[in-house]
Structure 1
Amino acid sequence: MTLRITLAGCTGWVGRALIAAIAGADDLRLVAGVSRSGAGRDIGEAAGMAPLGVAISGSIEEALQTPSDVLIDYTKPVAVKGHVLAALGAGRHVVVGTSGPSAEDYAEIDAAAQAAGRGVLAAGNFSITATLMRRFALEAARYVPDVEIIDYASAAKVDTPSGTGRELAEMLGAVRGASSAKPVAELSGVRETRGGGIGSPRPVQVHSVRMPSYLLSCEVLFGADNERLAIRHDAGTSAAPYVAGTLLAARRVASFTGLRRGLDAVMD
């Protein structure tokens, strides 16, 4: 069976790499794409390839008029929730690679997916090695409760923290023990220097660095009596690490109903 894919954000950094990968897969077919800047162009030509006979749509509503099985979204934080809800309303399963949605947004998406009887797989990072970083950090947090995250990205990145940092903090907050650090509310001076607390019931402090020459990195720091542990993931300059994980998610998202977070939800 060939899986029909609608790709939102098809002219972006990851989107262009996904076009080539989907076009080269025997079990996948790209039937529609979304890009405001690329509307009307052939999706293959937009990726620097030979024409694929698929015209790019300027909106998600237009793209969803073409029958498909899965929407893959790599767009912008302000647009992604609307795209997901529209796709679920149109009977699609959804893979979300866009960072930015909050825990409240994902709760709304989960409810919509359950009502539609469709699956949504969302990950702040579809890289296999980034997924392993998160798995190792979650294991460490069960034994070492003092944990904080440093999230690095380029000066131009709009959302803060990154999807990787936010998702990881939310998951760590659910499993970590009580921190030994003085609560932020009890500090003097400039409290904002302690970062932002994310997750529950025990929020994790996340510190976002946005500077030139940084790509995407996430560092998880653990502290215990007389010892420290650092777990770090650094992304390279290519979108290739995200492609395999995204396509794995697309192939497996129809196997469940509702929302799942993280590539490891389907890796095993």
Structure 2
Amino acid sequence: MSEPIKVAVAGASGRMGREVVKMVLEDPELRLAAAVAHSTSGMDAGSMVGKETCGVPLTTDLELALVESKPDVLVDFTTPHSVMANTELAIRHGVRPVVGTTGFTPEQIEDLDRRCREAGIGGLIAPNFSIGAILMMKFAAQAASYMPHVEIIEYHGDQKLDAPSGTSVKTAEMIAANRQELRQGNPNEKETIEGSRGGYYEGFRIHSVRLPGVFAQQEVIFGGYGQTLKIRHDSYDRAGYMPGVNLSVKKVMQTTGMVYGFEHFLD
């Protein structure tokens, strides 16, 4: 049997980070090497997620954790403000980043791809790790070839930091690749309240809803003469993302360069 993949987790005390820690501890093919968080330093990562103590204490120093634990992979669920620096740091230390945090620009992704290739390692930036969400995006991209009039509505909790969501941006990019730019709506329309028509992308609109009590949903609506098509995905629990994270940790070990989108790791 091969050695387990050593995994460090950034944002380990967050809601997604705790799920990642739990997933790693439950998979014999993975080994938790380090757990990094801004708070609860010194607490055992296993006890944090209701498991037996695993001997990996939470630490606040990511670079020190990478140097001392020498992980193969860094899973990052932190914030858009820190994720770029974390990813650059991982690549600099030869650690493969698997990133679920959004907020990267296309230029940053291109730069990270270059850095990964120079280091001879792989990486992944995934706006969404849910299999259902990936299928929703693929179906929407396919539908756009036949029904070019489209809008996206995405729903998240009121504490989400970025808008629109990374999932909706990725969906919009996939739709745009299958559709000529078409400016929708009445050419003389006027917003009497600024922003009421949503964010503009390649001729169509993205609407971001932020409310307490909402977890994560997205609806892609296509309109045609006498008909509409709605493709919707709903997430109810963060554990639903973990099969995708698990697969990504294993696939990134066989990859070179920075991959943008979990769909590229699906057969």
Normalising TM by the smaller chain, what interval?
A: over 0.9
- Describe the SS at the equivalent of 2:161: coil
Select the residue among 120, 124, 131 that pairs with 1:121.
Answer: 124
Match of 1:144 in 2: 147
Range moving further from structure 2, 95-104 or 50-59:
95-104
Residue aligning to 1:153: 156
Secondary structure at 1:219 match in 2: strand
Q: Which amino acid aligns with 1:23?
A: L
Equivalent residue number for residue 43 of structure 1: 45
Cα separation, partners in 2 of 1:222 and 1:207, compared to 1, 3 Å: same
Give CA-to-partner distance per residue, 1:96-140, whole Å, 9 cap, x none: 111222323322222222222221112111111111111111111
Q: Is the 8 A contact 2:182 2:203 kept in 1?
A: no
Query: Residue by residue, what CA displacement relative to the aligned partner does 1:181-220 show, whole Å, maximum 9, x if unpaired?
Result: 148897453452121124xxx3542110111221111111
CA distance in 2, matches of 1:117, 1:203: 39
The amino acid that maps onto 1:91 is G
Contact 1:146–1:178 (8 Å) recurs in 2: no
2:233 — aligned with what?
233
Deviation of residue 174 (structure 1)?
2.5
**2:181–2:203 CA contact under 8 A, matched in 1:** no
Letter in 1 for 2:101: T
**Distance verdict in 2 for CA 1:117–1:134, change over 3 Å:** same
Matched residues in 1 for 2:181 and 2:119: separation?
Answer: 38
Give, in whole Å, the separation in 2 of the partners of 1:188 and 1:9.
Answer: 40
SS of equivalent to 2:35: strand
* In the alignment, structure 1 residue 168 sits paired with structure 2 residue 167: no
- RMSD (Å) for aligned C-alpha atoms: 1.9
Taking the TM superposition and a 5 Å limit, the aligned residue runs for 1:39-78 are 39-65=41-67, 66-78=69-81
| Corresponding residue for residue 217 of structure 1 | 217
Could you say if the C-alpha distance between residues 184 and 164 of structure 1 is closer, same or farther in structure 2, counting changes exceeding 3 Å?
farther
Partner Cα distance (1:176, 1:62) in 2? 47
Deviation sequence 1:23-79 (CA, Å, 0-9, x none): 121111000011011222211122222210012120321221121111111111111
> After the TM superposition, which residues 11-22 of structure 1 pair with which residues of structure 2 at under 5 Å, given as runs?
11-22=13-24
- 1:185 and 1:54 map into 2 onto residues whose CA distance is 61
Q: 1:162 to 1:114 in 2, by over 3 A?
A: same
The aligned residue for residue 27 of structure 1 is 29
- After TM superposition, the score normalised by the length of structure 2 is 0.92
Percent identity over paired residues: 37
- What count of residue pairs does the alignment treat as equivalent? 264
Using structure 1 for the length normalisation, give the TM-score: 0.92
